[in-house]
Structure 1
Amino acid sequence: MKMSDVAKLANVSPATVSRVLCHPELVSKETKQKVMDVINEVNYKPHAVARQFRTKATKIILVVVPDITSAFFSEVLRGIEHVAVSSGYQVILGDTENNIEREAEYINLLYQKQADGMILLTARLDKYKLEALSEQYPLVLACEYIDGLNVPTVSIDNISSARKATEHLIQLGHTRIAHITGPINIVLSRDRLRGYKQAMISHDLEIDSAYIQEGDQTFESGYNQMLKLLALELPPTAIFVFNDDMAMGVTKAVKDCHLKVPEDIAVVGFDYIKMSSIHEPSLTTVAQPKYEMGKQAMELLLKQISGEPLHKKKIVMKDELIIGESCGSKINVIKSLERI
């Protein structure tokens, strides 16, 4: 069934059928109803490729993530999907598996005009390449970002968030506070490390390089890096961890060493994934507004696609420190400090 067949059955021109499908506001109510009755009766489906040739639009959005197995991204993707679908777009997902070459390959799809725009949840490429891309095609960065990059971005302030998490441990009486970073080549890892250091310096606490270990964002690396910290002659009494996955690995390592969280080691994570509240003990962690970040990113992209001016390119969303059971009360922590 072709558009011309629908036009004959509805006794209108093919151009009218096209307007009903693409710009119904330009067609009278009676004509639109007549055409839609025929479309529904014969179950006509517009040919996607042919429509792309006519409109020069794919109605497809490409979303690139660094690691699809990470629980963090599921809510971000849901926010993107809900806005996209309600606006008539389909979302195609690309998983780079933290491989910068894969990220470049997905970006080539935009150059090949196989999508109308792209949301990058990873930003490992050279900033000048991304700026050149954004000058030609709609592009939004979400969650990750690049300093000084003039591209629409949705994120939180990772430096202040990490500072807040570390200061929570300091306020509980801790002075020997460790930090397990994410991969240090990622801006989020560097910014959260910076926030940790700022908190320590502002409270005149020593920053011991042995207390800073680099992880790879996985449960296993949190476990392994915590074993290294516990093997130190003077182990930390508290630890701020790059993400919740690694923080849960940390609590497992503590238990396997016959210690307790929070009685012996206080733990703070980051991201507030679903498992962090189910985990025992429940994690104290920094919550990012993941769903809203996805929605805002998609809305920014749609404005670019439609040619609307962007009054604000950098959207910094609010985070929240969620107090769980993994840090304990101040009294219990101080007693623990006296025992270690």
Structure 2
Amino acid sequence: MPPIMEKKTPKITDVARLAGVSTATVSRALSKPETVAESTRNIVLAAAEKAGYRVNLSARNLRRQRTGTIVVLVPNLGNPFFSEILAGIETALSKADFNMFVVDTKLVHIKPHLVSEYLHATRADGIIALDGSLPDEVLSAATSGRGAPPMIFACEWSPNGEFSSVRANNARGSELAISHLAELGHRNIGIISGPKDNVLTQSRSAGVLARLEALGLPFDPRHLFQGDFSLDAGARAALSWLDLTERPSALFCDSDQMAFGFISELARHGVPVPDDVSVVGFDDIDIASRYIPALTTLHQPRYRLGFSAAEMLLGHIRSTSSLAIETKILEVELIIRDSTSAPKA
């Protein structure tokens, strides 16, 4: 019986030989891809694949004194809005050989100590928070102490402005919505808002009121329906709208979810949109274009938002000195579909 030959484990030198570059270039291409040209990185990746070379992440992270884990704090994993943001985060992190550990903050709000437990369990290298309403004790647990990981916000932000953030131009988005409704001829416009203390709500409401004032249009406080970004909140707003003797002819909603809840509840009562009332959402989640009627809404570049947030955090992790607080604003786009039209004569 011939002797069994052990399969040789490919080494970095094998990759370098196949790629026609130095071992140092291979190392940089695999561990710090931003330091080499994209064409070089692609050649190295192809050579690594051909050689069957696999990076030992555990050993690399041990040398770097890192775990390769990023904790992402999400306010509601059941909300489809966050899926594209998480996809963007995951893409950016995976390119840098980092993993993502997602935590739903609904439970964290009830048990703030869980954040420090998650961080201790994962020994996270950084935190991305998508929830701007995190209690102070949670923020303190996440960022205080020697060697605390860097933390940034995405989508939402800390009201006191002490953390870097990536977010959409929320005020500009609501201004675009009001301008669109006014151009259609609407003069009585209501709001279905998010939670009163939420930074998104405050920013979008400020944009609405500023644009109404600029156009010389009044705002009736009775036409403000407080919600929580959910389908149920939109449905409750529809019932309140139906109870009014003088109804606004158009509604701006702080989220697509609330817009869907509003429209569907009106349909149950035989009230058609946009024939009897126009509706504008905010977010442009996937179903918005397939809904009946297709929803006029503000498109947030959610994937790019997540990707940019992850890149910003990675920059903080790699920095050897304290970085200044950054704020990156991404523009939104008004997508006009079938849920808005001129008011009834």
With over 3 angstroms needed to count, the CA separation of the structure-2 counterparts of 1:131 and 1:317, relative to structure 1, is farther
Q: 1:200 aligns with which of 187, 198, 212?
A: 212
Match of 1:30 in 2: none
Q: 1:320 aligns with which of 333, 337, 345?
A: 333
Q: Is the 8 A contact 1:67 1:98 kept in 2?
A: no
Aligned residue pairs: how many? Answer: 304
Q: 1:212 aligns with which of 224, 228, 232?
A: 224
Q: 2:280 aligns with which of 252, 268, 274?
A: 268
Match of 1:281 in 2: 293
Q: Is the 8 A contact 2:165 2:309 kept in 1?
A: yes
Displacement after TM superposition at 1:208 (Å): 1.2
Q: Is the 8 A contact 1:127 1:149 kept in 2?
A: no
Q: Secondary structure at the match of 1:97?
A: helix
1:90 aligns with 2:102: no
Match of 2:188 in 1: 176
Displacement after TM superposition at 1:81 (Å): 0.3
With over 3 angstroms needed to count, the CA separation of the structure-2 counterparts of 1:296 and 1:44, relative to structure 1, is closer
1:62 aligns with 2:74: no
Moved more, 94-103 or 198-207: 94-103
Match of 2:109 in 1: 100
Displacement after TM superposition at 1:105 (Å): 2.4
Q: CA RMSD in A?
A: 3.2
Q: Give, in whole Å, the separation in 1 of the partners of 2:156 and 2:113.
A: 16
Moved more, 143-152 or 182-191: 143-152
Match of 1:140 in 2: 152
Query: Could you tell me the TM-score, scaled by structure 2's length?
Result: 0.78
Q: Give, in whole Å, the separation in 2 of the partners of 1:103 and 1:314.
A: 26
Aligned counterparts, 1:287-326, within 5 A: 287-307=299-319, 313-326=326-339
The letter of the residue matching 1:323 is: I
Q: Give, in whole Å, the separation in 2 of the partners of 1:44 and 1:232.
A: 65
Aligned counterparts, 1:160-171, within 5 A: 160-171=172-183
Aligned counterparts, 1:224-235, within 5 A: 224-235=236-247
The letter of the residue matching 1:250 is: F
Q: Percent identity?
A: 30
With over 3 angstroms needed to count, the CA separation of the structure-2 counterparts of 1:159 and 1:98, relative to structure 1, is farther
Q: What do residues 11-50 of structure 1 show as CA deviations (whole Å, max 9, x unaligned)?
A: xxxxxxxxx9xx946xxxxxxxxxx9xx97xx999694x8
Match of 1:122 in 2: 131
Structure 1 gap segments, 5+ residues each: 1-5, 11-19, 26-35
Q: Secondary structure at the match of 1:213?
A: strand
Displacement after TM superposition at 1:255 (Å): 1.7
The letter of the residue matching 1:319 is: V
